């Protein structure tokens, strides 16, 4: 039986072209990029080629691209690096309650260091109001971090609007005023525009394993002129900002995956929008007492999220897995935590209902007939489990 994968928001398979580009750097071109001999310079050339591929995809300069161990590190570096670099000018920061834990935990740590953090709450669709964000900015605010799209419910934030407002405040403050910068975790925005000049962000984190690249590598864009403290100490790698021998195969894969994603995202997005519409239609038609979560239209095309009355999301995941279908009950990074989703909680859903949450995410190999199989299996499983769960209102 062909297994069906519906968890592309958690991770994706490395595509063939990316794998083929990576393989030579495991055994044939194995030099250290910091070495001066030909082996090392081959590796250095590959790293810089990947950096340029990412820069071209983001429409920025290659010196504004840094490679890390993953999106979580990119988030941490952006937040800690920028906040600490500016702390002598201001110690007020802003983020939202629906951010990825890599962002939220970084801000919680900064609170322990004496920073003040304002956490903005979303509306029922998971949208952050730009006006409320602007109202939260004060004379001591130095950093705002708002995700591009939510990894659990798929809601897209008004990032260009927020960036425009932040930029206007920064210009009014002038060079002698308190600096103000905008960071975004764009890991779930792979099908959205990436060009940083149009987005207007100062720092942006990406995770190539979300778009058919390898795990163990992340990308951080830092606009030229934005102050950011060194994150890992040791050697002179990554322009003296992040020490450690570069993961050359992963970086090569990250560069090509980013290039290919930028080239293909428009076409892939249209395909996924059709599949998303088909899936939501089937779910509403075939399963009673469900609620789709996230914004109904301002959402990424690859994520469908819902809560189902009278069942546990974890039970659904396990039952569907036995039937050869992989789905998620929320973010992969918190899937072993039985606490209710902080995203759905912030959106106002009751805890007992949140436990019935499910996320279905689509990708390159998803076919229309796969959706029918999934909904049929899900419908049967829900009927089996409903009598075992407490009754709650949707």
Q: What is the tens place of the pLDDT at every residue in 16-50?
A: 999 999 999 999 999 999 999 999 999 999 999 99
Confidence (pTM)? 0.95
> In 10 A of CB 270, how many CB atoms?
11
Please state the rounded mean pLDDT for residues 196-208: 97
How far apart (Å, rounded) are the C-alpha atoms in residues 307 and 240? 47
- 222 in a structural domain: yes
Q: Are 47 and 246 in contact (CB under 8 A)?
A: yes
Q: Which residues are catalytic?
A: 333
Whether residue 180 sits in one domain with residue 306: no
CA 338, 343, 346, 351 torsion: positive or negative? negative
Whether residue 232 sits in one domain with residue 320: no
- Domain boundary among the residues 209, 236, 261 is at 261
- Domain boundary among the residues 241, 261, 281 is at 261
pLDDT classification of 386: cutoffs 50, 70, 90:
confident
Total length of the chain: 394
Inter-helix orientation angle 368-385/313-322, to 10°: 120
CA 198 to chain centre: 19
Whether residue 374 sits in one domain with residue 292: yes
- 393 in a structural domain: no
pLDDT classification of 352: cutoffs 50, 70, 90:
confident
CATH number of the domain bearing residue 197:
3.40.640.10
Lowest mean pLDDT of 287-301, 315-329, 378-392, name the range. Answer: 378-392
How far apart (Å, rounded) are the C-alpha atoms in residues 187 and 25? 26
* Per-residue pLDDT at 296 exceeds 70: yes
Whether residue 291 sits in one domain with residue 155: no
Whether residue 332 sits in one domain with residue 317: yes
- Residue entry with tokens 């995410």: 361
- 274 in a structural domain: yes
CATH number of the domain bearing residue 288:
3.90.1150.10
Whether residue 300 sits in one domain with residue 273: yes
| Parent domain of 356 | 4-11+265-388
Inter-helix orientation angle 101-112/71-85, to 10°: 30
């Amino acid at each position: 039986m062909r297994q069906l994968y519906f968890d592309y928001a958690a991770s994706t398979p490395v595509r063939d072209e990316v794998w083929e580009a990576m393989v030579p750097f495991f055994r044939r071109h194995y030099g250290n990029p910091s070495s001066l001999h030909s082996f090392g310079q081959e590796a250095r050339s590959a790293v810089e080629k990947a950096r340029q591929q990412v820069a071209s995809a983001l429409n920025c300069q290659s010196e504004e691209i840094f490679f890390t161990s993953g999106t979580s590190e990119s988030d941490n570096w952006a937040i800690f690096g920028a906040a600490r670099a500016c702390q002598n000018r201001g110690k007020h920061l802003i983020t939202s309650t629906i951010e990825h834990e890599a962002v939220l935990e970084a801000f919680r740590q900064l609170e322990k260091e004496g920073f003040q953090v304002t956490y903005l709450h979303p509306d029922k669709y998971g949208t952050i109001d730009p006006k409320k964000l602007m109202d939260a900015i004060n004379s001591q605010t130095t950093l705002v971090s708002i995700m591009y799209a939510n990894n659990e419910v798929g809601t897209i934030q008004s990032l260009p609007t927020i960036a425009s407002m932040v930029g206007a405040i920064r210009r009014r403050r002038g060079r002698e005023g308190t600096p103000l910068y905008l960071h975004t975790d764009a890991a779930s925005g792979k099908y959205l525009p990436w060009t940083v000049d149009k987005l207007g962000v100062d720092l942006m984190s990406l995770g190539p394993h979300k778009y058919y690249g390898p795990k163990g590598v992340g990308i951080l864009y830092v606009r030229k002129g934005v102050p950011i403290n060194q994150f890992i100490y040791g050697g002179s790698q990554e322009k003296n900002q992040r020490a450690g021998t570069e993961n050359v195969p992963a970086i090569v894969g990250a560069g090509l995956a980013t290039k290919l994603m930028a080239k293909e995202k428009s076409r892939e997005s249209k395909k996924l929008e059709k599949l998303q519409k088909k899936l939501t239609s089937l779910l509403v038609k075939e399963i009673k007492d469900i609620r789709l979560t996230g914004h109904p239209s301002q959402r990424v095309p690859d994520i469908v999220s819902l809560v189902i009355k009278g069942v546990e999301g974890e039970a659904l995941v396990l039952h569907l897995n036995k039937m050869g279908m992989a789905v998620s009950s929320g973010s992969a990074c918190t899937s072993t935590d039985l606490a209710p989703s902080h995203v759905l909680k912030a959106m106002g859903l009751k805890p007992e209902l949140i436990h019935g949450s499910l996320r279905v995410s689509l990708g390159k190999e998803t076919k229309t007939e796969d959706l029918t199989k999934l909904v049929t299996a899900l419908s049967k499983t829900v009927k089996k489990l409903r009598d075992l769960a407490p009754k709650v209102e949707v």
